[in-house]
Amino acid sequence: MSDATFTFRVDETLKNEFAAVAKAHDRTGAQLLRDFMRDYVQSQQDTRDYDAWFSAKVKHSRASADAGHLVPAADVEARFAAKRALTRRRLEDIN
């Protein structure tokens, strides 16, 4: 991997404060900027990956619903009412 130079303008006060904070953490400003850039690129990739995963889940769910693979709301309510009742009984047994 070849190195490239990244040049930009920044307020002198900000530059000096950033350099001082970096030095206080035994880092150079350049090291921190590279870290920030890597973190930002990774964050953007993570967001793209999540969005792709989520879109695939939604597409799959819609196709499933369109195919008629649905659970009636009353069945869902009954199932979770039973789970809530079981949890309450377990909590009562603990106390």
Please report, for the chain, the start and end positions of each structural domain, with discontinuous segments joined by +.
12-69
Q: What angle do CA 79, 81, 87 make, to 5 degrees?
A: 105
Q: State how far Cα 19 lies from the chain centre.
A: 30
| pTM for this prediction | 0.68
Residues 7, 33: Cα–Cα separation, whole Å:
12
User: In this predicted model, what pLDDT tens digit does every residue of 2-37 receive, in sequence order?
Assistant: 889 989 999 999 999 999 999 999 999 999 999 999
CB 22 within 8 A of CB 32: yes
User: In this predicted model, what pLDDT tens digit does every residue of 36-87 receive, in sequence order?
Assistant: 999 999 999 999 999 999 999 999 999 999 999 999 999 999 999 999 999 9
Q: State how far Cα 2 lies from the chain centre.
A: 31
CB 28 within 8 A of CB 22: yes
